[in-house]
Amino acid sequence: MYKWDRLAPVERNALVAEKVMGWQVHDTALGRFWYNTNDEFVHWNDAWKPSELISYAWQVIEKIKDQFEFVSLLYGTDGKWHCNLTRFHGFENHEHDDFDIEEFSADAATAPEAICIAALRTVGIDIVKI
């Protein structure tokens, strides 16, 4: 279990890069860099900040969106951002009476955080907000 509020931003971003995006960090003489599963350069390690910047958080959504029937990001009257990722199992056979719904959701102060927490939950990472 990971306690989101106790992780430093660099730890949060690394967790998303490794577990959701499937990237690996490579240390070189020029610094630390993220590489994808084809061993191709993706990004400089410290510059990719999906838990902080919406442009990078949106890359996370782009990576996982095709696995879900519904992807929503809403700002609530409670002053929090809500990210919800929903998929149906068994619905592809058009048997509307016999399917399961699987949802992954997160509420956070910022949209990037809500996206990252929900995305991590889709890959089985237990994230707790304290």
Q: Which DSSP state fits 47?
A: G
**Which structural domain range is residue 29 located in?**
2-128
- Over residues 87-112, the pLDDT tens digits come to 987 666 555 666 788 999 999 999 99
- Give the residue, 3 or 130, on which the prediction is more confident: 3
pLDDT value for 108: 95
Q: Which two tokens stand for residue 122?
A: 């889709």
Q: Do 64 and 123 meet the contact criterion of CB atoms below 8 Å apart?
A: no
| Cβ neighbourhood burial of 48 (10 Å; 0-12, 13-18, 19+) | buried
CATH number for 38: 3.30.2120.10
| Chain mean pLDDT for the chain | 90
The whole-number average pLDDT for the span 13-24 is: 94
**Alpha-carbon gap, residue 64 to 128, rounded angstroms:** 21
Closest by Cα among 105, 127, 129, 128 to 19: 127
- pLDDT band for 54, please (50, 70, 90 cuts): very high
**Alpha-carbon gap, residue 53 to 96, rounded angstroms:** 39
Is 0.85 surpassed by the pTM of this model?
yes
Answer yes or no: is pLDDT of 81 > 90. Answer: yes
Q: β-strand 127-128 against 41-44: which pairing, if any?
A: unpaired
H/E stretch holding 57 reads helix 54-64
Q: What are phi and psi of 61, to 5 degrees?
A: -60, -45
In total, how many domains does the chain have?
Answer: 1
Answer yes or no: is pLDDT of 48 > 80. Answer: yes
pLDDT value for 128: 86
